[in-house]
Structure 1
């Protein structure tokens, strides 16, 4: 049993259109920049499955306020839905007995699978008071799609407790949360022996007696009693007593604290004395350990625990917010591994929310849900990654690209380039022009042109705007018209209308005929080539002409690049540089004598040496004014 889908309508940053979020049966990871709606989803789950009344209470600020709202209305409404799936039933019913009886009042979806639909509705009404009047209803709906009140069954508190959410917030107070967690989920399930109860009672009574026998304590008690009886004349509660030990066993065990030993001096260290990061780790470890114990108790009565003494939840939802807080990135792997171990069973499901790129290298991209705030209406959008089906190499590439360049997920704009040169050159040119790429959340990603259509689809799915900078490679084998043909092919692959690409020149036989026609075009037809280059810009596809970004920079700042490094002699004057730059099969005749010296310097600077280091050396010596004026 797990939460398969969550639907939020008019809840905080989720608007009236409703947002559906699909969850995996194990770990689902929420990523996005700050303020994109990740915490709002965790709060929605708290309203549905929180373990305290405070977590389940709907607040006035939970209701969505449209960005264009002119004035507050007299009433607002929100709705939260959770769809529960039961793979135990699909597996043949071996574990069907673990499904609580209430949740067996299910409905069949379009595919005929039995699921449970839980719905929380809340209404806020302006009744003239400071907070207004809040009403909420929690139902199980026995149908999918539109429903009437007759289709709804009220969800009772006992049934609601069958799913419990353990929320580990970004700012963790380890001591209080661990104590509350133990009190609520473990201590009550322990079958405390009569021996420990009697030992506690005897020791407590002895300590209280020794405390009360102290002369100074007797003086304090006498003074307080005298003053109390002067103001309190009722016949009860006349004599105050001071005792250090509460003799009520159940109350005493609630105050059990955790200590660690040894510290540097060989003494015990309190939980509050640990660092912020250590407290975070311990709280996560304590959560995992508690679920381990509950799993053992559920499977068979563990020694010392009451068989069926405390009803364990059918599903525990673990929500960890920003696990990177106060922790080095390397700890994330340990945290993710522990959570994945917990969710391997049928009784636990987990969520992680993060605004750190480091989390993406440690989770499966298929588990990621990307959050982005739409600036137009200030509502959140949630997208899953659509990995290419039946294309193992493409799927592998996207997975590795996402993990290698996780900045994609947190960018407001992405520039896809051919190689490492773009990573160095573009940010420096942008900075010279007054645009700080990093502070503007612009990511420059060298992912290569071969798989560019898959990255286009990825960014389109995530609703992240982007531009692509490709090498024209004019004169190289497959360059020029070949690169333009490839770009058109990739655009068609992501669903761009052929009419939009080829216009009135679209061949009646279909776009494949237009693509084949590129092979007959002459590389010397520069005018038509430039027309196509300019035409493709409407699709955010740009070309470095005539060759690549390295050659464009060499042309634009030839004097700066044509300075040998200290201790080096510069390019050799031997041989034809076109062979090295364009290749044996290249069109050497396209580059006349005016390109001779630049090609020699290109061969010297960029072939067989690190391109980025060359650009760093040259650009670091240029002023912003010079770069702005000469940028290609």
Structure 2
């Protein structure tokens, strides 16, 4: 059995409108920026299934307070936490315990269980914190059916132990879990041992022998006699007059409380206790204890032919881990995730973790991720990662893209480019334009390829704003008007209104046929119209490096700087334009063909100066590494030199970045 859905309403940052968290896998990752509601979501499971009253306690601060509300004006509040539990079709061990409380949605659907905690708070003149009432129910109606008083049945406390949660907090204190105290992991582990009477008798005998042996030492007796003598001088009460120095008594529980764990070798010739380990190893050992508990329960169950399932072993154990990355070296995180994955694959285990680091997220499957964010009303919004259909060609690309650039999940704004050149240039320009990407949580992602529309869909689903810079590639195959057509079609595909995006003069709308034929338009005759559509796309945060690509754009705006960064004796070896016009013409034509990637290319839409610069484009960007060239050039320029001739598209982009940051 596993929890497939968590529904939260009115709990902490979860507002009065119910939020549904769908768990597609037995391992799920809750991701998002700090204070986005990840920990609160994990806590809800403790409120339902915590082993102690303290874990399940609902207090005043658990109830949601709206952004513009004054707590003093609130007279009452309600919250609810509900889980849906699905059952395996090939294993019926868990079914008998809950069979009479299951519901079925439809004729061919599998039965499932709904458990809901409902709590209410009311202001009280007698109780400073107010009156709180908490009840937990089985909901005996399917999710699409109406509810009434008869569809609620009180959830029996004795069934709570069948579903247990182990909560691993962000601040790990494994020492507390190594104490033989009720609720600790060590206590639960040792309680699995069946101490037979023969062992207890032998144990008591051995302890007595040790104590008697110490009494045989003369110095030990001297200490014992001295303590008794002075004790009797301090008081004359016959009670408690005799003292006995021994090793904590002979009771088994007393000895178990003194159990400790040590680690060796240490390099100091003595074992280390748990408190002597570094934070990272303490964090790992906390996870070790939890894994050991699950492993021991499983092995004992196997030894007893599974008869303990639902009796001494829970039907479902939920492992909820806050920030598994805390204090752990990045190279060990892969191992941690693999272990958690293996735990989730056990028949009676489920793992939920929260994180706000790309190092963890890149190790999870996108389908396992749930994205948390805080809305403008300071309420938690939860969304799944949307990928193309698995049969779609784009599925694999997008899946790998978001895995390689997990930073986009945590961004306030994503800037999408086509490659490494854009990243180098934006890194330099953010200094020039005084917009720190890190400080403003802006992520650059070189994902502007032919599947960019799927990246747009993904970011739209997560409500993360984005700006896209694409190459216009004028006169390259399928480019120019083809690039504009593609962008318009993809914007329509993500829900942009047709009558706004394709609006023409006179309130006419561009027809589907004309849009389909857009790539066939003559670039020379329709250059002004093309510029108009480029302006329209800017309204939707789609910008273009025109007329070719970003490398050519930078070259045309800073030609002298790019011509200057050549090794001694290097360069494109350009024939003298005046003395050898034919050789120069031949060199230029070859450069145009190479730049536009066609032997038939003429560069008719480019100026003579631009075609001449294609010789340098060919040298710098087709014969050498693009990022290295840009790094070399930009590092040789001052901020003022860059600012003096900055391509207008960057001015527009950074204006838009500032505008978005002000509203998000």
Tell me the equivalent position of 1:138: 136
Encode CA deviations 1:14-58: one digit per residue, 9 max, x unaligned.
111121101134211111121111111111111111222222111
CA distance in 1, matches of 2:33, 2:71: 29
User: Which sits farther off after the overlay, 340-349 or 306-315?
Assistant: 306-315
Pairwise mapping of residues 172-187 of structure 1 onto structure 2 (< 5 A)? 172-179=172-179, 181-187=184-190
User: Which sits farther off after the overlay, 172-181 or 315-324?
Assistant: 172-181
Tell me the equivalent position of 1:219: 226
Encode CA deviations 1:100-153: one digit per residue, 9 max, x unaligned.
524541112256331111111122222244433322111111113542232222
Give the C-alpha shift of residue 407 in structure 1.
Answer: 0.7
CA distance in 1, matches of 2:22, 2:114: 14
Tell me the equivalent position of 2:538: 537
CA distance in 2, matches of 1:152, 1:17: 21
Change (3 A) 1:103 1:50: farther
Tell me the equivalent position of 2:116: 119
Tell me the equivalent position of 2:645: 630
Pairwise mapping of residues 305-454 of structure 1 onto structure 2 (< 5 A)? 311-374=312-375, 376-454=376-454
CA distance in 1, matches of 2:303, 2:357: 40
Change (3 A) 1:75 1:571: same
CA distance in 2, matches of 1:282, 1:626: 55
1:580 corresponds, among 594, 603, 623, to 594
Which SS does the other structure have where 1:483 is aligned?
Answer: helix
Pairwise mapping of residues 28-107 of structure 1 onto structure 2 (< 5 A)? 28-72=28-72, 73-87=74-88, 90-91=89-90, 95-99=91-95, 101-102=97-98, 104-107=100-103
1:261 corresponds, among 248, 261, 264, to 264
Change (3 A) 1:384 1:219: same
CA distance in 2, matches of 1:236, 1:106: 62
CA distance in 2, matches of 1:168, 1:201: 36
CA distance in 1, matches of 2:59, 2:563: 67
CA distance in 1, matches of 2:221, 2:95: 58
Which SS does the other structure have where 1:119 is aligned?
Answer: strand
Which SS does the other structure have where 2:477 is aligned?
Answer: coil
Encode CA deviations 1:494-529: one digit per residue, 9 max, x unaligned.
233322321257998952442224413434422111
CA distance in 2, matches of 1:618, 1:630: 14
CA distance in 1, matches of 2:307, 2:596: 79
Give the C-alpha shift of residue 272 in structure 1.
Answer: 2.0
CA distance in 2, matches of 1:218, 1:620: 84
Which SS does the other structure have where 1:259 is aligned?
Answer: coil
CA distance in 2, matches of 1:343, 1:413: 33
Which SS does the other structure have where 1:39 is aligned?
Answer: helix
Tell me the equivalent position of 2:662: none
Change (3 A) 1:216 1:184: closer
Is the contact between residue 468 and residue 542 of structure 2 (CA under 8 Å) also seen in structure 1? yes
CA distance in 2, matches of 1:136, 1:210: 57
Is the contact between residue 474 and residue 523 of structure 1 (CA under 8 Å) also seen in structure 2? no
Change (3 A) 1:397 1:523: farther
Is the contact between residue 189 and residue 309 of structure 1 (CA under 8 Å) also seen in structure 2? no
CA distance in 2, matches of 1:325, 1:71: 34
Tell me the equivalent position of 1:294: 297
2:630 corresponds, among 591, 596, 615, to 615
CA distance in 2, matches of 1:240, 1:624: 84
Encode CA deviations 1:533-576: one digit per residue, 9 max, x unaligned.
00011221111111111121122222322213342433331512
CA distance in 2, matches of 1:258, 1:188: 17
Is the contact between residue 207 and residue 245 of structure 1 (CA under 8 Å) also seen in structure 2? no
CA distance in 1, matches of 2:569, 2:208: 89
Is the contact between residue 414 and residue 465 of structure 2 (CA under 8 Å) also seen in structure 1? yes
Tell me the equivalent position of 2:652: none
User: Which sits farther off after the overlay, 77-86 or 558-567?
Assistant: 558-567
Encode CA deviations 1:311-337: one digit per residue, 9 max, x unaligned.
211100011211111111221221121
Which SS does the other structure have where 1:447 is aligned?
Answer: coil
Tell me the equivalent position of 1:595: 610
User: Which sits farther off after the overlay, 438-447 or 117-126?
Assistant: 117-126
CA distance in 2, matches of 1:237, 1:105: 58
Give the C-alpha shift of residue 469 in structure 1.
Answer: 0.6
Kindly report the root-mean-square deviation, in angstroms, between the aligned alpha carbons of the 2 structures: 2.6
Give the C-alpha shift of residue 243 in structure 1.
Answer: 4.6
Give the C-alpha shift of residue 208 in structure 1.
Answer: 4.8
User: Which sits farther off after the overlay, 547-556 or 514-523?
Assistant: 514-523
> Runs of 5+ in structure 1 lacking a partner?
none
Tell me the equivalent position of 1:109: 105
Whether 1:202 and 2:216 are equivalent positions in the alignment is no
User: Which sits farther off after the overlay, 16-25 or 586-595?
Assistant: 586-595
CA distance in 1, matches of 2:307, 2:476: 77
Change (3 A) 1:21 1:347: same
CA distance in 2, matches of 1:513, 1:184: 74
Give the C-alpha shift of residue 356 in structure 1.
Answer: 0.9
Tell me the equivalent position of 1:188: 191
Which SS does the other structure have where 2:133 is aligned?
Answer: strand
Which SS does the other structure have where 2:93 is aligned?
Answer: helix
CA distance in 1, matches of 2:558, 2:168: 54
Is the contact between residue 489 and residue 515 of structure 1 (CA under 8 Å) also seen in structure 2? no
CA distance in 2, matches of 1:240, 1:552: 92
Is the contact between residue 188 and residue 310 of structure 1 (CA under 8 Å) also seen in structure 2? no
Is the contact between residue 448 and residue 468 of structure 2 (CA under 8 Å) also seen in structure 1? no
Change (3 A) 1:349 1:512: farther
Change (3 A) 1:204 1:330: same
Change (3 A) 1:53 1:219: farther
Tell me the equivalent position of 2:657: none
Give the C-alpha shift of residue 306 in structure 1.
Answer: 10
CA distance in 2, matches of 1:109, 1:452: 38
Pairwise mapping of residues 409-558 of structure 1 onto structure 2 (< 5 A)? 409-504=409-504, 511-558=512-559
Is the contact between residue 5 and residue 23 of structure 1 (CA under 8 Å) also seen in structure 2? yes
